[in-house]
Amino acid sequence: MKKIIQDALSGNIRAISRLVTLVESQSPDAKSIMQDIYPHTGHAHIIGVTGSPGAGKSTFCDRLVDEFLEQNKKVAVIAIDPSSPFTGGAILGDRLRMQHLALSQNVFIRSMGSRGSLGGVSAATWEASLIFDACGYDIILVETVGVGQSEIDIMKIADTVCLILTPGMGDDIQIMKAGIMEIADIFVINKCDREGAEKVASDVSAMLKMFTTNSWIPSVRLVSSYSNIGFAEVANDIFSHEAFLSNTPAGKNKLLDRAALEMEKLLLNDLSQKVSLLWKAKCSVELLEKLSCRKINPYLLTSEITNEILK
Amino acid sequence: MKKIIQDALSGNIRAISRLVTLVESQSPDAKSIMQDIYPHTGHAHIIGVTGSPGAGKSTFCDRLVDEFLEQNKKVAVIAIDPSSPFTGGAILGDRLRMQHLALSQNVFIRSMGSRGSLGGVSAATWEASLIFDACGYDIILVETVGVGQSEIDIMKIADTVCLILTPGMGDDIQIMKAGIMEIADIFVINKCDREGAEKVASDVSAMLKMFTTNSWIPSVRLVSSYSNIGFAEVANDIFSHEAFLSNTPAGKNKLLDRAALEMEKLLLNDLSQKVSLLWKAKCSVELLEKLSCRKINPYLLTSEITNEILK
């Protein structure tokens, strides 16, 4: 295992891939891998890319990666496909679309399937980005399909969040519902050659004025993945936001908040795994039948078990 | 508190509302409320309604509620609005749309805001439906906006899951991605007066043939909320599915699986709350600064804290 970690830290792609798989599958080695990897992290910038289905997130990522490659950055892309709880598999559409990038030595593309467990995807995504960070990637792009609570949780691990909107999709209300608006640092109006793009941009700018409690004022950029317009500007905004995080008190506070959130998640995750094991050991058909026909009160049983395991 | 619980159990709407609020806000009384309420549950049928944004879930629920009211059922509707992590508020669009129902004595409509915490909404939704169940509601409709991992978690508490599709939305691939397909018991093709509805229905039926490992074969129903077509059939399918759950070995197994899942969630939730409190007590700016600049390894700190609290 030490050998694999050493190889990964020196940039060996197969070793990196192996580590991510071990961590994602929650192998018994996962914890010690992360302990060893962690001291090497802290260099990469993590960019979250989100937006409604059909907003063109994958193509946007594709072009943004090209932009970073031109600047001689090493880029890792983590594409999150909520997997079927039934098959455990994932639909590879988004990944396939990015395939031309797979030819570059400086890009690593990884699909993550959600493990169906609460916090599963966001934990795995966070740990994969730590691995990429430790192994020398400068930029980590995390792309999530769709907008929802778990996507928001995933986006919270990012340093900079790009929200992709498109003209004429009625996106605005959906986004406000999902609460992603407040965590976006850069608003990207994709497909800007379509009618209505300027309108979306000005609507977003107007909305942002209502929410300016942050000292970072989110930028609003018109972009076209198809005509390759606006990507240098988005990359610039990302670097400005990176500077904001490290050089201003408000930015530093944001990083502290994130550290607190990460630590809480790690704790929860660790305990969740222990609780799941414990519950699997206790659980029997007889017990479930009693629960199912209300002969056992699950709230009382919970207190009993909690008292059993906590000091 | 005993008085409020008694009032709620005898059907007092203000008392029921109070209980749901106390439980949703995780008040110190929440646990004892649920312990007292639980023995009175087990009579209601919980129906989950989900689908992509724009599929017409709210109007569908609206009509379905009318259908149940005609059958003299008491119906509770839980509409889940992912709240803004920023404001804690929720957009009330869906709720407003259902307002005409609020005039009936036999309908109780409740909006749930997600509390931003992992598992927060699904726990609160589950507990609210237990309260409605105990307080004499026959049918509990849980409506979630959008499709995603947290929605899947919410749908797992339902006895019967209705998935709403519409013609011409390119829904199919989105749904397969989200894995909701496998947990749906009834497929509803809404807006069936639009072109392409029959095609969606036959596509879904064809897909279902690929997934028939369950002994319940999901029904596919064409419905129009606008013209009020197909709701009696959907209500019938729901009752057939209810009979399947209570009268067949496969149905009973499904209920046992759910009991196991609920129990595991209760345990996790209870521990999560304890861990959050503990972490808040331990967390200081100094500690966060050390974490943020990598002077403390969070993986080692996690082990330390876990060892501290577990027997």
Q: Which residue has the higher pLDDT, B310 or A286?
A: A286
Q: Residues, chain A, total?
A: 311
User: B153 falls in which pLDDT band (50, 70, 90)?
Assistant: confident
Reading across the β-sheet that carries B139-144, which strands appear in turn?
B107-113, B75-81, B139-144, B45-51, B160-165, B186-189, B219-222
Mean pLDDT score of chain B: 83
**What residues contact residue A292 under an 8 Å CB cut-off, 6+ apart?**
B252, B255, B256, B258, B259
pLDDT at B146: 61
Joined together, the tokens standing for residue B270 give 């209870």
Joined together, the tokens standing for residue B39 give 């023995």
Q: Which residue has the higher pLDDT, B242 or B180?
A: B242
Q: Are B69 and B235 in contact (CB under 8 A)?
A: no
pLDDT at A84: 38
The residue-averaged pLDDT of B134-150 equals 83
pLDDT at A98: 57
Selecting from B85, B149, B297 the residue whose C-beta is nearest the C-beta of A82 gives B149
How many CB atoms within 10 Å of residue B128?
23
Q: Are A127 and A33 in contact (CB under 8 A)?
A: no
CB–CB contact B85 A308 (8 Å)? no
The residue-averaged pLDDT of B76-87 equals 62
User: A212 falls in which pLDDT band (50, 70, 90)?
Assistant: low
Question: Over 70: is that where the pLDDT of A298 sits?
Answer: yes
CB–CB contact A173 B91 (8 Å)? yes
CA distances from A306 to B46, B141, B268, B284 (A): 28, 32, 10, 27
pLDDT at B269: 82
Query: In angstroms, rounded to a whole number, what is the distance separating the alpha carbons of residues B188 and A223?
Result: 37
What does chain B look like in DSSP terms, one character per residue?
-HHHHHHHHTT-HHHHHHHHHHHHTT-TTHHHHHHHHGGG-S--EEEEEEESTTS-HHHHHHHHHHHHHHTT--EEEEEEEPPPTTT-----HHHHHTGGGGGSTTEEEEEEE--SSTTHHHHHHHHHHHHHHHTT-SEEEEEESB-SHHHHHHHTT-SEEEEEE-TTS-HHHHHHHHT-GGG-SEEEE-STTSTTHHHHHHHHHHHHHHTTTSSS--EEEE-BTTTTBSHHHHHHHHHHHHHHHHHSHHHHHHHHHHHHHHHHHHHHHHHHHHHHHHHHHH--HHHHHHHHTTSS-HHHHHHHHHHHHB-
Give kind and range of the element (H or E) at residue A188: strand A186-189
The residue-averaged pLDDT of B282-296 equals 92
Query: In angstroms, rounded to a whole number, what is the distance separating the alpha carbons of residues B219 and B233?
Result: 10
Query: In angstroms, rounded to a whole number, what is the distance separating the alpha carbons of residues B11 and B9?
Result: 5
How many angstroms away from the CA of B222 is the closest CA of chain A?
25
CB–CB contact A275 B268 (8 Å)? yes
Question: Over 80: is that where the pLDDT of B182 sits?
Answer: no
The verdict on pTM exceeding 0.80 is no
Question: Over 60: is that where the pLDDT of A217 sits?
Answer: yes
Q: Residues, chain B, total?
A: 311
Q: Are B34 and B23 in contact (CB under 8 A)?
A: yes
CB–CB contact B179 A84 (8 Å)? yes
In A, minimum Cα distance to B302 occurs at: A267
CB–CB contact A259 B288 (8 Å)? yes
pLDDT digits (tens, 9 = 90+) for A28-81: 899 899 999 999 999 999 999 988 777 888 889 989 999 999 999 999 999 886
pLDDT digits (tens, 9 = 90+) for B22-35: 998 888 899 899 99
Query: In angstroms, rounded to a whole number, what is the distance separating the alpha carbons of residues A136 and B204?
Result: 45
How many angstroms away from the CA of A198 is the closest CA of chain B?
24
Question: Over 70: is that where the pLDDT of B287 sits?
Answer: yes
pLDDT digits (tens, 9 = 90+) for A96-146: 555 566 667 889 988 876 554 445 677 888 999 999 999 999 999 998 866
